[in-house]
Amino acid sequence: MVKAKVTEKWVKRQVVKQLRELGAYYFFPVASGYMSSGVPDIVACHQSKFIGIECKANGNKPTPLQLKNLNDIKTSLGIALVIDENNLDKVTETLLDI
């Protein structure tokens, strides 16, 4: 039996379900010519905490620029997460720990 590949879109939907259940504010930054590259896929706020979430699937990893932006969020005392199909529970666990 072959395991079906998971898409990044599916991972994003699973993350959004958790954010909604927790009552977090969130949005998807829209890439345009005026936006900086490497911005996380989902930007959220929960209990006054800024959260950047980069979603990946099938073993894909964040680019160096995405990692830089996530590190900048951490340096500013925000929460930066890389979520894939193997660690979806980390969203709820992290936000409940705030």
pLDDT digits (tens, 9 = 90+) for 37-89: 899 999 999 999 999 999 999 999 999 999 999 999 999 999 999 999 999 99
Residue whose pair of structure tokens reads 């990044």 in the numeric block: 8
Binned at pLDDT 50, 70 and 90, residue 2 comes out as low
Output the CA–CA distances (angstroms, integers) from residue 63 to 42, 73, 76, 78, in the order listed: 16, 15, 20, 20
The predicted pLDDT at position 9 comes to 97
* Pair of tokens at residue 16: 């959004």
CATH number of the domain that residue 63 is part of = 3.40.1350.10
Residue 2 is assigned to a structural domain of this protein: no
- Looking at the predicted structure, is the pLDDT value of residue 32 above 80? no
Domain count, the chain: 1
Tell me what pLDDT residue 4 has. 77
Give the closest residue to 62 by CA, choosing from 8, 15, 14, 17. 8
**How far apart are the C-alpha atoms of 57 and 12, rounded to whole Å?**
10
Give residue 49's pLDDT: 98
Domain range for 21 is 8-96
